[in-house]
Every structure is written in C-alpha cells, then in structure tokens.
C-alpha cells in the first residue's frame, strides 16, 4: 500500500507540474476569470454562447481547442478508487470579505488571509467562492440544482478548485448568512461582509473526486486541480432564486455544458474503514 500511495502522489505531482506550464501567464485565479461578462453568455444561438467562446477572443481559444476542459461527468464506472490520495486538509480561518455581483455570477472574495487547503502536498490559499446554477459537473449523468466553487491559488500560481453540489431541500447554512446581501447586490457592487470564515462552508463528506481540468468560464485556463466533494448537499428554492434573480439576463442558468474527458483519469478518495 505504501508503494501504491507513493506512486499516486508521484503521478499527480507529475501531471500537475506539466499542466502548470499552461499557467505561466496567470497571476492568480481571480485574474484568470473574466470579470467583464459582456463578451459572452450561456445562451446558444446568440453568437456568444459556450460553443462560440473559443472564437470570441484570441486569448480564449483553449475553450474550443483544449483537451483538459471542465466540467465533466463523474461516472462511477470510470472512476478509480484510490485511498492513497489522502484526506483533503483544510486550514481555513475568518477574514475580511466582500460579496460581489460579477454579472455572470455572485461571488464572495476574501480580502484578508482566510487560510488554505493542502492538496497533493501543495498549499493553496483560498481566494473566493462563487455559485453556478444548475450544477456544472454531473454525477452519473445527473445534473443537480447548484454548484459552489471555492477557488484557491498556490504560491507558484497554480489553481485548485473545490466543488460542492446541491439539490433542493433544506436551506444551506452558508448561503443563509448571505441571502439578504445577495438580494440587494447590483452588478459591480462590492458589499462589505465583515469577517467571514470559509470554514462555514459545509462539505459533509471526506469522500471526493479528483482530476485535472480547467476554469469553466473564459478564458478556460487549463491545469486546474479539481476536487469535487462526493456528498450532494441541500439548498432551498429561495436561495437558488435569489442567486439567479440578481445576475444579468443570459446568466440565470450559468452552467457550462459538459466537456469531453479525453481519457483523463478521475480518482475517488474514500477513507479506509
């Protein structure tokens, strides 16, 4: 088992280092995501939909030509179970934060040091989180109602994103604290939230999927280390409605279509009983 764990760690390190060659011009995860949403939308037939993203801007060509694009379907029959990946280590802490309406989504951005995760032996500082509705990743072909992305960056500029999926049910406790701010957030607003801890985001499970992919909005930067929590949590209809109501037309349903896996390995971490 020790030999297998070392092999898994070496494999992911090698794959991740090679994919980082694509990130040399990316200062941080927030810089690499488009802030001005006007050039693109999620509505096909407008000339600005996902099928056209790679043709709108020369810097977005990877959206069309990339081989490590996200999101993907996490299909059980293709997933390889590897306990050797190890528990995702979280070291989050409270820090100053703002809520922003970026037009294409709602995000919480930390202005102070809000801690980190440790994945594959690398520290990734948390930067921001944002929501997509419906979910972007699917589980065995099922698209859920909401997906939260927690974006992190390493000191070398590498990007690691933790994704959490939600279905309709009881309200989500983290969103509940933000709901009144979300409902009044106009585009471009940066509403002071005071001190917020990313640790208030509930994961609910130690099981997770791991693969190498991309950002799911232009410029679709590749080399992103994805961790998708296996447990599907719950969110209320009111909370989803609030997130959809405040974004611009064309972004109410802000989920990118599924991308080709192209033979990429997808691993599942499941603790040994």
Residues marked as catalytic: 104
| Residue (of 213, 211, 222) closest to 61 by Cα position | 222
Inter-residue contact 136 to 119 (CB < 8 Å): no
Residues 6+ apart with CB under 8 A from 233: 164, 165, 166, 167, 172, 202, 204
What single-letter DSSP state applies at residue 248?
P
Phi, psi of 148 (to 5 degrees): -100, 135
Structure tokens at 198: 């990313």
Inter-residue contact 161 to 96 (CB < 8 Å): no
User: What angle, 0 to 180 degrees and rounded to 10, lies between the N-to-C axes of helices 237-245 and 173-183?
Assistant: 40
Cross-strand pairs, 132: 147
* Residue matched to tokens 């859920």: 144
Q: Beta strands 80-81 and 267-269: pairing type?
A: parallel
Inter-residue contact 150 to 201 (CB < 8 Å): yes
Q: Which helix or strand (DSSP H or E) is residue 177 part of?
A: helix 173-183
């Amino acid at each position: 088992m020790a030999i297998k764990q070392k092999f898994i760690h070496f494999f992911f390190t090698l794959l991740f280092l090679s994919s980082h060659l694509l990130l040399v011009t990316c200062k941080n995860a927030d810089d690499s995501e488009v802030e001005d949403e006007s050039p693109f939308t999620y509505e096909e037939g407008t000339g600005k939909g996902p099928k056209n993203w790679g043709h709108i801007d020369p810097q977005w060509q990877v959206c069309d030509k990339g081989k490590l694009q996200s999101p993907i379907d996490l299909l059980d029959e293709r997933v390889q179970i590897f306990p050797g990946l190890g528990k995702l280590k979280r070291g989050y802490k409270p820090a100053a934060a703002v809520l922003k309406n970026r037009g294409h989504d709602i995000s919480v951005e930390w202005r102070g040091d809000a801690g980190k995760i440790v994945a594959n032996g690398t520290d990734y500082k948390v930067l921001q989180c944002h929501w997509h509705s419906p979910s972007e990743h699917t589980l065995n072909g099922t698209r859920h109602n909401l997906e939260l992305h927690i974006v992190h960056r390493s000191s070398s500029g590498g990007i690691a994103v933790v994704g959490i999926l939600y279905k309709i049910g009881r309200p989500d406790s983290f969103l509940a604290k933000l709901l009144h701010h979300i409902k009044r957030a106009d585009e471009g607003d940066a509403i002071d939230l005071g001190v917020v801890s990313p640790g208030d985001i509930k994961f609910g499970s130690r099981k997770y999927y791991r693969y190498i992919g991309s950002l799911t909005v232009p410029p679709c930067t590749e080399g992103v280390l994805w961790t998708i929590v296996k447990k599907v949590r719950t969110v209320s209809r009111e909370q989803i409605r609030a997130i959809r109501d405040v974004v611009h037309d064309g972004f109410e349903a802000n989920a990118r279509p599924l991308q080709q896996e192209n033979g990429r390995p997808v691993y599942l971490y499941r603790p040994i009983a």
